[in-house]
Amino acid sequence: MLIGHQPKPFLLAVEALTVSFDGFKAVNNLSFYVEENEIRVIIGPNGAGKTTVLDLICGKTKATSGSIQFRGKELTKLKENQIVQTGVGRKFQTPSVFEDLTVFENLEISFPKGRTVFGSLAFQRDDAVKQRVEEVAEMIFLKDRLDTYADQLSHGQKQWLEIGMLLIQDPELLMLDEPVAGMSVSERAKTAELLNRIIKDRSVLVIEHDMKFVEDIAHKVTVLHQGQILSEGTMEKVKNDPKVIEVYLGH
């Protein structure tokens, strides 16, 4: 018996996860584990089920079978907002910010306080909230745009705003779906800098196609193909895997 010698518990443990849409298995018997403070990048060709995996973890799609454990809590049984409250944050592929609200209001809504109906009626914009909003706004390069309505921001700024909205939630697991897609070169560099700063002290799950970006940030890479894991390991290992080169990197 090796009591006291157990491996460090994983932050996120996905086991035998399967989802089937009318018989088509978008994710098929998938298992992977994310450790604390690990940056994991998921890559793979189109239709490999990358976004579906994030959808399953954050509750947007319900799993057909399998389990997703986050800090020992079973996420497949929780609602989306409950999953957020356990500490999982999700950024979508297309920027989804509230265009009829200002940058300040967008960030304020994400502040983890007053999340019930009556809590939000009693919510006060106190100094703690203002300070945190300003702090995050500075980080996402939008400090002087706090009163701008989000519909007037550029595509890149909207992406930053959404990242900021996640940041203010302070999740333990941050999931980003193609954070640099559609950005200009300079915006991309700034985003990489921003991501490098915010991924400290938390685990991050990123979907990305930009290989240079992946090499920069990934601790470990998971390659998905047809809903299953094709290869997993360090970028170096994955890059030299003949299977990966054939279905993905070779193109």
Alpha-carbon distance of 55 to 47, in angstroms, equals 14
> Shortest Cβ distance from residue 97 to other proteins (Å)?
7
- Closer by beta carbon to other proteins, 3 or else 117: 117
Report in angstroms how near the CB of residue 45 gets to other proteins at its nearest. Answer: 26
Least Å distance, CB 79 to other proteins, is: 7
Residues with Cβ < 8 Å from 187, sequence gap 6 or more? Answer: 156, 159, 180
Coil, strand or helix at 60: coil
Closer residue to other proteins, CB minimum distance, 82 or 234: 82
3-state secondary structure of 25: strand
Alpha helices in 17-116 (DSSP H): 50-58, 80-86, 103-110
Nearest to 169 by CA among 113, 116, 231, 220: 113
CB of 215 to other proteins, least distance (A): 29
Q: Which of 46/81 has CB closer to other proteins?
A: 81
CA of residue 27 relative to chain centroid, distance? 18
Residue 28: CB atoms within 10 Å: 18
Q: Measured between alpha carbons, how far is 174 from 158 in angstroms, rounded to an integer?
A: 18
Whichever of 108 and 221 has its CB closer to other proteins, that residue is 108
DSSP bridge partners of 224: 229
Min dist. Cβ of residue 54 to other proteins (A): 11
List residues binding other proteins (CB under 8 A): 58, 60, 79-81, 84-85, 89-90, 92, 96-101, 105-106, 108-110, 112, 114-117, 120-123, 162, 165, 169
Kindly state the smallest distance separating residue 23's Cβ from other proteins, in Å. Answer: 24
> By C-beta, is 112 or 182 nearer to other proteins?
112
Smaller CB distance to other proteins: residue 105 or 241?
105
Can you tell me the distance from the alpha carbon of 177 to that of 159, in angstroms, rounded to the nearest whole number?
Answer: 11
Q: How far apart are CA 104 and CA 122, in angstroms?
A: 18
